[in-house]
Structure 1
């Protein structure tokens, strides 16, 4: 099974009157999320289930991904992904993931980074060092597991297949 941990793209801090949950993407975030969506489509990274935080910036990140999905995908808006954004998401993945072969979680930091670091047991490149240093907005970690149901998820059992940041993609400046 495959987990796609996707941190929301860059958000707009321009309106100090907006509650944190209501902050939208800024222009850089809109561009980066579209580039990441195209990358996922080109690479065949197709979730059949998506768990997305209820925050505006995560929903806008999801909206840019939707046009690239060519298969049926179950989408669940999960308020706990926002409310527990300071915690590890492994418990939520166990609870909501079911038997989804390719599960995507669109969430926040530090939970996205902490979840990746908690679940990765092996990796084939220096990508783990990148994740340890920073899990920037719009970045995607692809982690593979040898399990039949997400309820079986255990720490340090995943293989980090890749870690991609928007700035890694052609034409993206950061």
Structure 2
């Protein structure tokens, strides 16, 4: 059995005048949301044998804030393939995970993460999948399990979605901004 947890980076700042999208930092709300998700991960007893992340600044800052809430560090392996990757590329990253890891955390970007969940979890699989179809917000966690011994055997429509947690589920003040 393998467990894959996906974490979308927290809300980034569009006000910061950086020259590249890659360098965009988190905003204050994003840092708070990531810390709340980190506390949830700690309280839920989530643990990971392997962590792989996009090298984008907003992903690194998300992990820093998650670690603050979680109370320990993750020491992620950075993989450039994750930066703005498609679901197909993310599946390649999953297939390359070390088989010694039973539980892995992948931290990256949308729409790739959302598309990966929808690729791996069969249609009609329940309310959690329906929530993913509606929206995969920033700093949101999705957990899937697979009845496989090797990561390279993870296949489309073979996952069970066991968790989908948005920051606003834990703290309503982290919900969408009023327009």
Please show how residues 90-169 of structure 1 align to structure 2 within 5 Å. Answer: 90-121=91-122, 125-169=126-170
Please show how residues 1-174 of structure 1 align to structure 2 within 5 Å. Answer: 1-67=2-68, 68=70, 75-82=76-83, 84-88=84-88, 89-121=90-122, 125-170=126-171, 172-174=173-175
Contact 1:144 1:161 in 2 (8 A): yes
- Mean Cα deviation higher: 14-23 or 102-111: 14-23
How far 1:86 moved relative to its partner?
3.8
Helix, strand or coil at the partner of 2:76: strand
**Aligned Cα RMSD in Å?**
2.0
- How many pairs does the alignment contain? 172
Q: Structure 1's 74 and 48: CA in aligned 2 closer, same or farther, altered over 3 A?
A: farther
- Mean Cα deviation higher: 12-21 or 25-34: 12-21
C-alpha distance in structure 1 between counterparts of 2:82 and 2:109, whole Å: 8
User: Which TM-score applies when normalising by structure 2?
Assistant: 0.88
Q: Structure 1's 164 and 78: CA in aligned 2 closer, same or farther, altered over 3 A?
A: same
Q: Which runs of 5+ in 2 are unaligned?
A: none
Q: Which runs of 5+ in 1 are unaligned?
A: none
